[in-house]
Structure 1
Amino acid sequence: MNGADPSTVAFMGGALTAGYAIAAIFFLKFWARTRDLLFLVFAAAFVMFAINQAIPVLMGIPQEEQSPAYLFRLAGFVLIIIAVLVKNAGGRKEP
């Protein structure tokens, strides 16, 4: 965000971090109820998204694309992709 007010950027980063953390808590709740590994992986991915959003704000990095914390987002998406592939591969049973 070029020319954006730093306090607005920090506020939005905090709001997104809180949103990701809340989503992670919901997925943990679903995992506790079902013990389905997919929900646990989604919770871990959303924790990584929250970390990805919080680090640039806490470290004062002006553009998140310049941050190595961006790798947390990549890792979160890779986790989700692997979990969905494993879930789909293991869920099919031949009649």
Structure 2
Amino acid sequence: MMLKPMLNGAVAMAWLASALFFLRFWVQSKDRLFAFFALAFTMLAGNSVVAALLDVDDERRHYIYVVRLFAFLLILYAIWDKNRANRHGSG
């Protein structure tokens, strides 16, 4: 069935578009939050491409989702880092 790989490709394209969006803001502002977001969305795009190329319905292929976990942890770290920088900058 070709629907799943095609949808994974569309999702990868959306993740890459989001990464380019945040990369543009990082170039303009040099704020690390945008760089972390761009990196995380690039990781998520790569994960979607790998999911399109592999048979992810096989339960033994859970390791490809570790990249997704790291991407979401990177987003959480970016938010934490931004809030920590604001707290130290205003005090």
Fold similarity call, TM over 0.5: yes
> In the comparison of the two structures, how many residue pairs are matched?
88
- Greater RCO, CA 8 A, separation 6+: 2
Q: 1:57 aligns with which of 52, 55, 67?
A: 52
- In structure 2, the residue matched to 1:12 is 7
Query: Percent sequence identity over matched residues?
Result: 34
More helix by share: 2
**Aligned match of 2:36 in 37, 41, 53?**
41
CA distance in 2, matches of 1:71, 1:48: 11
Give the deviation of 1:13 after TM superposition.
0.6
TM-score by length of 2: 0.88
Residues in 2 aligned to 1:28 and 1:89: alpha-carbon distance in whole angstroms: 22
Kept in 2, the 8 Å contact 1:49–1:72? The answer is yes
Aligned to 2:71: 76
Which runs of at least 4 in structure 1 moved beyond 3 Å after TM superposition?
64-67
Query: RMSD across aligned C-alpha pairs, in angstroms?
Result: 1.5
DSSP-derived class of the 2:8 partner: helix
Contact 1:20 1:49 in 2 (8 A): yes
Change (3 A) 1:79 1:64: farther
TM-score normalised by length of structure 1 = 0.85
Change (3 A) 1:31 1:47: same
- Alpha-carbon offset, residue 35 of structure 1: 0.4
The Cα shift of 1:62 comes to: 3.8
